Amino acid sequence: GQSLEQPSEVTAVEGAIVQINCTYQTSGFYGLSWYQQHDGGAPTFLSYNALDGLEETGRFSSFLSRSDSYGYLLLQELQMKDSASYFCAVRGMDSNYQLIWGAGTKLIIKP
C-alpha cells in the first residue's frame, strides 16, 4: 500500500534554514507535492516534483529522489509567517492517482 512519513514537528529560528523530509512508499509513482496550511486555514499549494532534482520558488525549494523514495522541502530566510503545518502528498497507482497525504509537519519558528 501507500504510506508517507514526515516529522511531526520541527523548530527553527527566524532567519535560519530548515529542511522538512518526506519518505514515501507507493507503486507507480506520479509526483510529490508540498502544501502549506496555517492554523484554521486551507492548504495552499507550494511545489510539485515529478522528476529527480531541485525545484526552486523564491525562499522555498523542493527536492526529489525517486530512487530513494525521498523528498524534502527547504525553507530559507525563515519568517514568523512561515509558522504553519507542511504536508507532503504523493500520487501513485495504489491510490488510483489520487493524492495521499502525510500527517503533516508543524513548523515552529522562534524569534
Partner 1 sequence: DSGVTQTPKHLITATGQRVTLRCSPRSGDLSVYWYQQSLDQGLQFLIQYYNGEERAKGNILERFSAQQFPDLHSELNLSSLELGDSALYFCASSVGHGGTDTQYFGPGTRLTVL
Residues forming contacts to partner 1 in the complex (CB under 8 A) are: 30-31, 33, 41-45, 48, 50, 87, 89, 91, 95-104
Question: Which one, 89 or 109, has the nearer CB to partner 1?
Answer: 89
Nearer to partner 1, 30 or 59 (CB): 30
CA distances from 66 to 27, 69, 92, 103, 108 (A): 12, 5, 12, 20, 28
Please choose, from the candidates 92, 85, 79, 99, the residue with its C-alpha nearest in 3D space to the C-alpha of residue 7. 85
Contact status, residue 3 vs residue 24, Cβ threshold 8 Å: yes
For partner 1, give the closer residue by CB, 63 or 87. Answer: 87
Instruction: Kindly state the smallest distance separating residue 51's Cβ from partner 1, in Å.
Output: 11
First to last CA, the chain: 41
What's the min distance (Å) between Cβ of 73 and partner 1? 15
Please say which residue, 12 or 89, places its beta carbon nearer to partner 1.
Answer: 89
- Per-residue DSSP letters for 37-54? E-TTS--EEEEEESSSEE
Nearest approach, Cβ of residue 43 and partner 1 (Å): 5
